């Protein structure tokens, strides 16, 4: 069975920018958008056009320069917002209008203060209006994972009937479990009569740390688009992380039977650019792009890595564009890893006794320090005669 294509919809510039503390100007948005194009993401959500004049101009600038990815802007289900959104993306080689309206009882009652029937009418009118501008219309049923399934099914059927070509089911508050989220896709794809006329999309938040798992499970239940951000930045605890999703699909293609067109070798550079521009530091143990993602410290692991890197790595650093794996010395490291690190510093031990002495000095230093520098390591051979450099 061949792998099916998953559309990668990057929302770093919209949901990612909604992270408290991030504010991107036009130049920064354009720089990130060009990087995303180079990464070969399919859709770039450049922003929320009506949110400010600066945002509108930034989306226009992104639409002008990017040629190979579809450029999208979010819009409320309000006609004048859709008009402005359409104008913001009109200069793009390929554009999409993304409309959002909430479908959960709590959002409809308290936030929208509308009846479900009213919300439905509004949504259909918005899609029909947006179709005047574009054939590529995405509709997001905000808080879909807390919506009533029967109402959601009726809602999805009608927005598809009105012309939506992608339907997203956001887990807006990161509440769903993978099993529940996946079942929502299965259910809707089974009961909505015109479900095959639209692409179903996953959009997951990370409040319980399940955004990536939820997105991946959605692909197993028929989602063919995933919405995500570089480094997982986004509202509150963030969105599903693009690099984790792409590498999970890539590394476990045998399991997911899905593929993306993302250039995985550019992931590390993409992560660094977004971190540098936003000022959001990537945690060292972050999957795929963290500083320690390809570092090995304990003696048992280092010994395995030196014999065969597949013992402790399921992908190579080169696949994601990172530096080759590192053996990092610390108090858990073993003699073999120590000897290899010393060799990389130009030190060869003339005898086992020298190695034993240097190794025991190393353990004394490592007991005091979490990270050892080259000078610490070279100090372990101080005064020794039987070594060459």
Whether residue 163 contacts residue 137, with contact meaning beta carbons closer than 8 Å, is answered with yes
Q: Which is nearer to ligand KIV, 174 or 299 (CB)?
A: 174
Residue 142 near Zn ion by CB under 5 A? no
Question: How many whole angstroms from its chain centre is CA 220?
Answer: 18
Measured distance CA(163)–CA(198) in Å, rounded: 9
Among 15-23, 31-39, 155-163, 292-300, the segment contacting Zn ion (CB under 5 A): 15-23
- Return the CA Rg of the chain: 25
Residue 140's binding partner among ligand KIV, Zn ion, none (Cβ under 5 to 8 angstroms by kind) is: ligand KIV
Whether residue 142 contacts residue 172, with contact meaning beta carbons closer than 8 Å, is answered with yes
Q: Which is nearer to Zn ion, 15 or 17 (CB)?
A: 15
Residue 142's binding partner among ligand KIV, Zn ion, none (Cβ under 5 to 8 angstroms by kind) is: ligand KIV
Binding residue for ligand KIV, selected from 59, 100, 322, 329, defined by CB under 6 A: 100
Whether residue 216 contacts residue 271, with contact meaning beta carbons closer than 8 Å, is answered with no
* Number of residues this chain uses to bind Zn ion (CB under 5 A): 1
Strand bridging mode 387-388 / 348-349: antiparallel
* Number of residues this chain uses to bind ligand KIV (CB under 6 A): 9
Which residue matches tokens 């692991």?
A: 301
Both tokens assigned to 301: 């692991």
Binding residue for ligand KIV, selected from 203, 250, 296, 301, defined by CB under 6 A: 203
Q: Which is nearer to Zn ion, 15 or 55 (CB)?
A: 15
Residue 15 near ligand KIV by CB under 6 A? yes
383 to 106, 296, 330, 372, 378: CA distances (angstroms): 73, 29, 22, 20, 11
Residue 15 near Zn ion by CB under 5 A? yes
Q: Which is nearer to Zn ion, 60 or 205 (CB)?
A: 205
Residue 8 DSSP SS3: strand
Residue 142 near ligand KIV by CB under 6 A? yes
Measured distance CA(215)–CA(251) in Å, rounded: 16
Residue 241 near ligand KIV by CB under 6 A? no
Binding residue for ligand KIV, selected from 7, 75, 172, 278, defined by CB under 6 A: 172
Q: Which is nearer to Zn ion, 206 or 264 (CB)?
A: 206
Angle, helices 178-191/149-162, rounded to nearest 10 degrees: 50
Which chain residues interact with ligand KIV by CB under 6 A? 15, 74, 100, 140, 142, 170, 172, 203, 205
Applying CB under 5 A, the residues found at the interface with Zn ion are: 15
């Amino acid at each position: 069975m061949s792998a099916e294509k998953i559309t990668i919809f990057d929302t770093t510039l919209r949901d990612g920018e909604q992270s408290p503390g991030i504010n991107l100007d036009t130049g920064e948005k354009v720089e990130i958008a060009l990087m995303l194009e180079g990464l070969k993401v399919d859709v770039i959500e450049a922003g929320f056009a009506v949110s400010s004049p600066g945002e509108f101009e930034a989306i226009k600038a992104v639409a002008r320069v990017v040629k190979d990815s579809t450029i999208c802007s979010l819009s409320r289900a309000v006609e004048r917002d859709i008009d402005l959104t359409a104008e913001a993306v009109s200069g793009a080689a390929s554009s999409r209008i993304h409309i959002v309206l909430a479908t959960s009882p709590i959002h409809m009652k308290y936030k929208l203060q509308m009846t479900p029937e009213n919300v439905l009418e509004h949504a259909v009118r918005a899609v029909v209006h947006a179709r005047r501008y574009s054939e590529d219309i995405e509709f997001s049923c905000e808080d879909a994972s807390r919506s009533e399934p029967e109402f959601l099914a009726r809602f999805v059927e009608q927005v598809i009937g009105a012309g939506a070509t992608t339907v997203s089911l956001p887990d807006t508050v990161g509440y769903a479990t993978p099993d529940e989220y996946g079942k929502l896709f299965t259910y809707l794809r089974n009961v909505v009569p015109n479900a095959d006329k639209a692409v179903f999309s996953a959009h997951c938040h990370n409040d319980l740390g399940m955004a990536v798992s939820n997105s991946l499970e959605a692909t197993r239940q028929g989602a063919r688009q995933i919405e995500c951000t570089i480094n997982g930045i986004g509202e509150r605890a963030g969105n599903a992380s693009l690099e984790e999703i792409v590498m999970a699909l890539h590394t476990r293609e045998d399991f997911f039977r899905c593929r993306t067109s993302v250039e995985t070798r550019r992931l590390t550079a993409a992560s660094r650019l977004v971190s540098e521009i936003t000022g959001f530091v990537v945690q060292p143990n972050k999957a795929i792009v963290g500083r320690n993602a390809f570092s090995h410290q304990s003696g048992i692991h280092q010994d395995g890595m030196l014999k065969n890197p597949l013992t402790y790595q399921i992908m190579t650093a080169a696949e994601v564009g990172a530096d080759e794996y590192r053996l990092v010395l610390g108090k858990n490291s073993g003699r073999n890893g120590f000897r290899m690190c010393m060799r990389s510093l130009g030190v060869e031990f003339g005898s086992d006794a020298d190695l034993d002495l240097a190794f025991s000095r190393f353990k004394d230093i490592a007991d005091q320090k979490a990270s050892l520098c080259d000078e610490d390591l070279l100090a372990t051979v101080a005064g020794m005669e039987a070594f060459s450099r």
